Each structure stands twice: as C-alpha cells, then as structure tokens.
Chain A
Amino acid sequence: MSNEWGAEVNSALSTQHSALRVDGLRRQFGGLTALGGVSFSVAPGERRAIIGPNGAGKTTLFNVISGELAPTDGRVYLEGEDVTDLPNYERARLGLARTFQRNNLFLGLSVRENVRLAVQARRGVAHRIWSRVDSLAVVTAETDQVLGELGLAERGGVLVRNLSYGEQRQLEVAIAVASRPRVLLLDEPTAGMSPAETTAMVRLVSALPAELTLLIIEHDMDVVFALADRITVLHYGEVLADGEPETVRGNPRVAEVYMGLEAQVMSDES
C-alpha cells in the first residue's frame, strides 16, 4: 500500500483520541426504532467489526455515520469534530469513506473511470472545466495505483456492467479506498461472494494501511475474526456487547442472540 497515504493518516491522527465516536445515536423510521441510542468510540487505526442479526440496525448505523441518513437524536464525531449536521459529501472530504452493502457503482462507465472520479474529487480538481482529463498526471497515477492495490489493474478498461459480481465488489471497495480516507466503513464487503473471492477480499482488506481506522459490518465470522481488533454487537438497535473478539465470543448473551443464530445458519448451509 501507499506509504504516502499511511503517513498522511498518521499525521492527521497523531493529535486525536478517537477516530470516530458516536454518542446516543437514535434513528426512528415511523414507529420502528432502528437505532435506540448507540454509543461507542473507535481508536485511530483500530479495526472494528459491527455484527448482529439481520435488522439489528447495522446498515442504519453506517448510514447515520456517513451522513446518508440524519439521526433522530445523538451526535457523530469524526476525529473529535462534530459532523452530525454535515452532509455526506463534506464528511467524505474530511476523510470518511464507505462502501455499500449492495453495489453502488457507475455501471455505464469503465472501471478506471469509477476510481478516477473518486481520485479527482479527493485531489480537488473535479471542477476544472478547461483541462483534459488525461492531462492530470497525478490523478492518472493515483488511479492506476488504486486499481493495482485492489487487484483490478488488468480490468481498467472494462465497462463495470460487464464485470463479474466479485470484481464489482472489489471495485466497490476500490472507489472508497481511492478517497484515501482516514476512516473507512465497509458494509459487508464479502456479501454474496464465493469462498475463494472472500479469501481474496480478506487479503485486500488486511493489506490496507495499519493507520487506517476501519469499521466493518460482516456476517461471516471467519472474516470477522480474521480482520477485527474489537467487535461491537448490535441487537435491536442497541449495543449488546463491545470488546475484544475473545471476550465477545465468550459473552453468553451474544452466544444466545447471535452466535447461536450463526451456528444455525452455518448448519443450514451445510
């Protein structure tokens, strides 16, 4: 991975205590409480897994953190700064990036152009109206670098709609990584992937800079234990447990509401 990126992340974080903190987040959808007062904080460089049964509010939590949804109540702090009232594009500029559970790509454009759009936004050149796209050497170089990092170097010229599902999933991460974020939210990066593709994705995520703060929603417990330093368990919109993987695994209530379910799912699948 890019050393330059790592250094940037490092210098930006050296003075902060938490990379991301949420405080009493609540989100109502009509009568339904998707988030019922969620608080936790994530240290710089930490890799945090968010797990919980379907409907626990994981994706809603991501949507509120990234600014896609406004919370009914509560605050979101990015590196100590209150970003609750900022729109998602301004949070992105402050160094927050995310992927989506369902691929959210530019299907009619090439793979390279998908990544390039993110790079030109971060480089602050997207408004340039009189220079040719391919004349911006920095953007071109960084685009190629991201494509390489995410294993898409050979696929740059392909239209996204012609990619395999697994490759589209990789591109989903590539677009987020191309923003060179300091905090990255991954919403089920391995959803729908084959075991081989999942292994490749875990390798790609592991190779991200150690300084990068990572939050990952994941159902596959092997992936969770391979990647996470800490785990937060959500259940009906509330934090059920929060701790190191071994502690959470040993928590009887977690075993009851989640691991049991997981075991059940596993046995159903086999």
Chain B
Amino acid sequence: MEAEARLAGARLSRGSRWLLPAVLLVLLAVYPLVVPSYLLSLLTEVLIYGIFAMSLDLLLGYTGLVSFGHAAFFGVGAYVAGITAVRLTPHMGITLPLALLGAAVAALIIGYLSVRTSGIYFLMLTLAFAQVLYAVAFKWTPVTGGSNGLSGIPRPALGLVAGGGELADPIRFYFFTLVMFLLVYFGLKRVVGSPFGHTLVGIRENEARMSAIGYNVARYKLAAFVLAGVLAGLAGALNTYLNVFVSPALLNWPTSGQVLVMVIIGGAGTLIGPVLGAGLVLLLQNLVSSQTDRWPMIMGAVFIIFVLVARFGMVGIWDRIVGRLARRPGPVLSDES
C-alpha cells in the first residue's frame, strides 16, 4: 500500500515536472492567435530580451563576472544584421551568421582585454569598451546612420520563396523568435549542466582555488564571455529583424544597465529568472510609460525593492511560495536540496 502510494506520488511528480513546461508551451503557441498585435510584438520583444538577459546571466549568475558593457554585443549583432541587410542581402542565411561572427569577434577582443581583471575593474573596462563602440556607431554616419540610427533595412528573408518576406508577418516572426529562444534556453540549460558550466560556477565560488587545482581561469572566463557575447549578438540581430531599425542607443550604457536589472530582478544564476525579469521590465515599461513620463523613476523603485527584499529575484520569491529553501543562485549542486 505504502509503496504503491509512493509510486503514485513519484508518477505524479514526474508528470507535474512536464506539466508546467507543456502548459507554458501551449500558451506560447496559442498566444499570438488571441491577443492584439501590440501585445504580440511585446512578447516577441520579451523573448528577444530574454535571450539577451540569459546571455548576460551566464557571466553574472554563473561565472560571477559583473559586465556593465553587455550592450556592446547586442548592438554589434544589431548593427551587423542591419548593415549587411542594407548593403548585401536581406537573406538571413547571410546576415545572421555575420551578426553572430561580429559579436564573437567583438567579445573575443573585449574579453581578452578584460577577463584578467575582476570586480570593479572588470565592470569599468567592459563599460568603457561598450561606450567606445557606441561612439563609433554615433559618429560613423555613412555606415551606421549616426545619431539618426540605421533605417531602410529590408525585412529579413529566408530564401524559401521568391522575393523573401517569409517573416514579414508578425505572427510568423513571433514563432521564428520563439524557436530561437527555445534553442538558446535548452542549449544553455545543457551548457550549465556540463563540466564546462560547473567549471564556471567553480570560478564564481573560488577563482583562486580553481587556479590552484589546475584550471586556466582566464581562458574559461574568456570562453564564457565569447559565448555570452554571441548569444547577445543573436538577440541584437533578432531585434533588428523585428524593428527593421537600429538606434545607436542600443549600444549606450543604459542598455547594459537595463539588462543587468532584468537579470537581477528575475534571479541571477537561474536561466528562467532573467527571462521573467525581461518580461517584468518590458511589461512595466509599456504599461507605465503609456500613463506617465516618470517611468525610469518607477522602474528604479521596483529595482530597489527587489534588491532589498528579494535577493534571489522573482525565482527566489517563487521558491519561497512553493516552500523551497532559498537557494544560492546557480545550479543546485547539493544532493540534499
């Protein structure tokens, strides 16, 4: 009897483990069919910023690197996708790989020069490099459109039908973004559960000891930095495809600040947290900014409240509601929790 009950319980809990993701997926699939178009583009944007925030969290929550210049890679991805679409071809088979490559090269250079520092120096260096790129985008008018931004970008084409425009329909673009988002989410889930991912957490916990037991810490940090940069570049490119416009503000420091806020509000060191944070920030931004100009102040207040009373963000609050012990950010590595 008892064993049977336990078995049933096990089956139930295994079922419920899949229940929530399944329901979420169905909701995400049905959503575009039932909501007005501005809510559709809002969710598309949440997915894009979700990718951006998850990529930063790989640095902040897992590796313990506080980057204040993550806008650099979002912006490089956005500009490369836009410029290549204007000058070369709108074909995504060309523009997307080039955007990712551009972000990778930028991350490799900036990362190489930054990862040997830590703490406040790392933060300031990443900020400074991102501001340099912002200045380039702002001044290099013939290529980037300068302060006016890059406009006249053609809709992305997949080359499936003549003339492209397969993704011109917002619903199709939403599903395309959703697929990209799920690839990144499950890909990163795999990465943080790998020996490499655990190495990053080890570096976050105790960099000096990792070095003493044989890890080339700088190289692992650089690898994480480049991976995070490439994913931020993906988000930037998707942002260009969505808006067919690139503003230099994407490269400016408030973009880096905003994505940091998303990660921290959502819960650093988890993958779903930053996505929830992106959702909350963008939702609030849309709701509040339509009512009042004091949006930044209200966002600031929300951020302060989270930092003061909910250290592990929205995920931490959820853990408390379902009665789980507050856990440290990062993969749960203890058998007992």
Contacts and interface: CB of A to CB of B under 8 A. Distances in A.
A and B: bona fide binding partners? yes
Interface string A93-131: 100011010001111111011001110111001111111
A126 B197 CA distance: 9
Contacts of A92: 212-214
B206 A104 contact: yes
Interface stretch (B160-168, B296-304, B329-337): B329-337
A158 interface: yes
Interface string B170-208: 000000000000000000001101111111011001101
A127 B197 CA distance: 9
A129 B223 CA distance: 11
A113 B200 CA distance: 13
Nearest to B330: A108
B191 A89 contact: no
B212 A158 contact: no
Contacts of A116: 198
Contacts of A216: none
B333 A113 contact: yes
A92, A109, A133, A157 pick with most chain B CB within 10 angstroms: A109
Contact of A117 (B191, B193, B213): B213
A88 B202 contact: no
B194 A108 contact: no
A108 B214 CA distance: 20
Given A92-B214, A122-B214, A104 B208 contact: yes
Contacts of B201: 109
Interface in A132-148: 132-133, 136, 139
Interface string B298-337: 0000000000000000000000000000001010011111
Nearest to B333: A113
Contact of A179 (B206, B213, B220, B330): B213
B208 A132 contact: no
A178 B205 CA distance: 18
Given A104-B208, A105-B206, A157-B336, A129 B197 contact: yes
Interface in A160-184: 175-176, 178-179
Contact of A125 (B191, B195, B209, B223): B195
A72 to B, nearest CB: 21
A243 interface: no
B283 interface: no
Contacts of A89: 211-217
Contacts of B191: 129-130
B282 interface: no
B284 interface: no
A82 interface: no
A128 B333 contact: no
Given A89-B216, A89-B217, A108-B328, A132 B193 contact: yes
A66 to B, nearest CB: 7
Contacts of A110: 333-336
Contacts of A133: 193-195, 197-198
Given A104-B206, A107-B205, A109-B202, A127 B334 contact: no
Given A107-B205, A129-B196, A132-B193, A88 B212 contact: yes
A106 B206 contact: yes
B94 interface: no
Interface of A: 66, 68, 87-89, 92-93, 97-98, 100, 104-110, 112-113, 116-118, 120-122, 125-133, 136, 139, 156-159, 175-176, 178-179
18 contacts: A66-B212, A88-B211, A89-B211, A89-B213, A106-B206, A107-B205, A109-B201, A109-B333, A113-B334, A118-B214, A120-B195, A129-B194, A133-B194, A133-B197, A136-B195, A158-B334, A159-B337, A175-B209
Given A66-B212, A88-B211, 13 more contacts: A87-B216, A89-B211, A89-B215, A89-B217, A100-B212, A104-B209, A107-B205, A109-B333, A110-B333, A121-B214, A128-B196, A129-B195, A175-B209
